[in-house]
Amino acid sequence: MHILTICYLFASVTFILGLKMLSHPATARKGNLLAAAGMGIAIAGTIFLYRNENGAPLGNYEWIFGGLIIGGIIGTVVAKKVKMTAMPEMVSMFNGMGGACAALISLVEYNHLQHLIAAGESIEGMSGTVLVIVLGLIIGSISFSGSMIAWGKLNGTIKDYSFAGQNIVNIILLLATLLLGAWVVIQHGEGNLLYVIFAAALLYGVMFVMPIGGADMPVVISLLNSFTGVAAAFGGFLYDNKVMLTGGILVGAAGTLLTVLMCKAMNRSLKNVLIGSFGGAHAAASTTEGVQGSYKEISLSDAAMVMGYANKVMIVPGYGLAVAQAQHACHELEKVLVDKGVEVKYAIHPVAGRMPGHMNVLLAEADVPYEKLLEMDDANEEFKTTDVVLILGANDVVNPAAKTDPASPIYGMPILEVESAKTVIVNKRSMKPGYAGIENGLFFQPKTSMLFGDAKKVLQELVSEIKSA
**Residues carrying an active site annotation:** 396
d(CA 338, CA 333): 9
| Contact assessment for residue 337 and residue 309, using Cβ atoms and an 8 Å cutoff | no
Say if CB 387 and CB 313 are below 8 A apart: yes
3-class DSSP assignment, residue 133: helix
Spell out the alpha helix ranges (H) of 22-86.
Answer: 25-49, 61-81
Q: Which residue, 282, 260, 257, is CA-closest to 270?
A: 260
Q: Shortest CA distance to 200 belongs to which of 243, 223, 170, 235? A: 170
Nearest to 37 by CA among 5, 65, 10, 74: 10
- 404: exposed, middle or buried (C-beta count within 10 Å: 0-12, 13-18, 19+)? exposed
| Residues 344, 322: Cα–Cα separation, whole Å | 20
CA distance 210 to 295: 35
> Which helix (H) or strand (E) segment is 327 a member of?
helix 327-339
Q: Rounded distance, CA 212 to CA 349, Å?
A: 21
Residue 294 · residue 444 · CB < 8 Å = yes
Query: What SS3 class is residue 314?
Result: strand
The DSSP secondary-structure symbol of 366 reads T
**Residue 436 to residue 288: CA distance in whole angstroms:** 11
Cα separation, 296 vs 446, in Å, equals 8
Phi then psi for 353, rounded to 5 degrees?
A: 90, -155
CA atoms of 443 and 426, how far apart (whole Å): 8
